Chain A
Amino acid sequence: MATKLVSQQPSSEPPSGPAIAVRNLRVKYGEREILHGINFEIAAGETLVILGGSGSGKSTLLRTLVGLERPSGGEIWIRGQDFAAMSEDERDGLLKKMGMSFQGGALFGSMSVADNVALPLREHTELDESTIDIMVRLKLDQVGLSGFDNYMPAQLSGGMKKRAAIARALAMDPEILFFDEPSAGLDPIIAAGIDELILKLKKAFRITIVVVTHELASAFLIADRMILLDKGVIVANGTPRELQESKQPRVRQFMDRVPEAEISRELDYLQMLTGDIPPQRQ
């Protein structure tokens, strides 16, 4: 029962090339608008990193792209189809071609690793158990978790949980992969391992990858293109090099890790987070 959303301008033809195209996207939580008209495209096979600080709206953007939040305005075109105007069956069909790896892994705690990875296959395909078993072992091998089939998620370390989550996201051989903070909470060595894995997936499968992160080192390693979100708007959109060399103050502040001016009043803090009024500056 998805209803077609009315965008601010008359909607144009669906783009033929890009895997994902976002036009004038607006998202609200209740009365508060979090994203104020986002526009960007991701080409097929490209890896896009969405950077931003806390409160920038990057998690909201990711959640909207995978259908967990409804836009209040604008359009999302995925593989040439209008995401918001699809019927439920079409939406399900599209979701089966996308995979998402959540920040904490979001593995189902009551099932083993193998059952977690097998779940999409068991629910969406008519494959028999022995085939599913082979596919699960294949995916676990791809992420470096061979032999951990019968472990429960609670028995895994943080890095291993992420890998298992990636294996599950890969179960249906998706065309688009989404990562929410893949390095969050991991020590640098393990985080580097996850970056390696993402690069490996990029090279081997040429999938379109969208990563939300605030870890600059990882971002520069894996990105073909980056966008920087600040308070719900895109302030930069380009190759890693272009962002690195940008002279814009907000971009420089993010890249050079310059701390925010001291916010000492509660009202200023709230305004900074919601982006209603710029914070006081010296």
Chain B
Amino acid sequence: MALTDSIGSATITGLAYVGELARLTGGAARAVFIEPFHGHKLRLGRAVHQAMAVGVEAIPIVSLISFFVGMIFGLQSAYQLRKLGALQFVADAVAIAITRELGPLMTAIMVIGRSGSSFAAEIGTMKVNEEIDALETMALKPVHFLVAPKFLAMILMLPCLTTWADFMGVTGGALFGVSSAGFTWASYFNRTLDALVLRDVTTGLIKSVMFGVVITAVGCQEGFSTGLGSEQVGRSTTSAVVKSIFLVILVDLVFTALFYFTAPR
């Protein structure tokens, strides 16, 4: 009896949380796409500043991680493929895995660690210092002022970062291929391009935009719901990272399944 109760209430809490996220995202999307036509212009300066922090400053770490992941996947697929005498398929395997899955996912996880946590910490600290209240008393809506620039920055930067991560991942696989699987640089990259269909790259990019939406929503929502006291800010930040990772993987599952079942035969 107790188990079904807890499963039930956990499900309801989870759904309520997703509802809150949807509300926040709706408000931010409205501020970015609709309000400018009603006279409330979005301050692009803030969005650019966020884009620098979310995107440009993440390039070094995303490059490194994707490069290593590319190499790792090359190694792991070669491990099986060499039994079939099919080492030349390493390039295909790496290309498809990176562009469809690992590129977007690894990038999202790095961005969660860097930006998802910082959104929660920033907004959480503002909440504790009554800065959010101050915004409201000045007739400035926190969603327009704080969330919308982050939202715009994320949905623009994440596909860009993912594209770069895809390239670095393939390069990592290439390093392995050239050193241990009998490729030359040229042959590896050519094989990669032959193996890829546009759909592989675009599904990865669509996923990356969805990941960006989730990361922004969870980071900001955790920030806004911070309790009083600096210890609570730490709690919110942790919570933001954990929930973001979970939701990103859930969204990944949904979209991967969607793309699988709607794929042209």
Measuring CB to CB, which residues of chain A are less than 8 angstroms from any residue of chain B? 63, 66-68, 91-93, 95-96, 98-100, 102-104, 106-110, 119-120, 123-124
Contacts and interface: CB of A to CB of B under 8 A. Distances in A.
Contact of A106 (B122, B131, B139): B131
B130 interface: yes
B133 interface: yes
A103 B140 CA distance: 19
A102 B136 CA distance: 12
Contacts of A102: 130, 133-134
B99 to A, nearest CB: 37
Interface of B is mostly: helix
Contact of A100 (B125, B126, B137): B137
Interface string B120-136: 00100110011101101
A93 to B, nearest CB: 8
Interface string B137-154: 111100001000000000
Contacts of A109: 125-126, 129, 131
Nearest to A108: B131
A120 B129 contact: no
Interface of B: 122, 125-126, 129-131, 133-134, 136-140, 145
B138 A103 contact: no
A119 to B, nearest CB: 7
Contacts of A99: 137
A68 B137 contact: yes
A99 to B, nearest CB: 8
Contacts, number: 47
Contacts of B122: 110
Which of B133, B134, B140 lies at the interface centre, i.e. has the most chain A CB atoms within 10 A of its CB? B134
B136 A67 contact: yes
B122 to A, nearest CB: 8
Contact of A120 (B131, B133, B138): B138
Nearest to B140: A123
Contacts of B126: 108-109
15 contacts: A63-B133, A67-B136, A93-B139, A95-B138, A100-B134, A102-B130, A104-B129, A106-B133, A108-B131, A108-B134, A109-B131, A120-B138, A123-B140, A123-B145, A124-B139
A168 B255 CA distance: 47
A103 B131 CA distance: 11
Contacts of A98: 137
B115 to A, nearest CB: 15
A78 to B, nearest CB: 13
Contact of B136 (A68, A110, A119): A68
Contacts of A92: 139
B137 A67 contact: yes
A101 to B, nearest CB: 9
B124 to A, nearest CB: 12
A134 B140 CA distance: 23
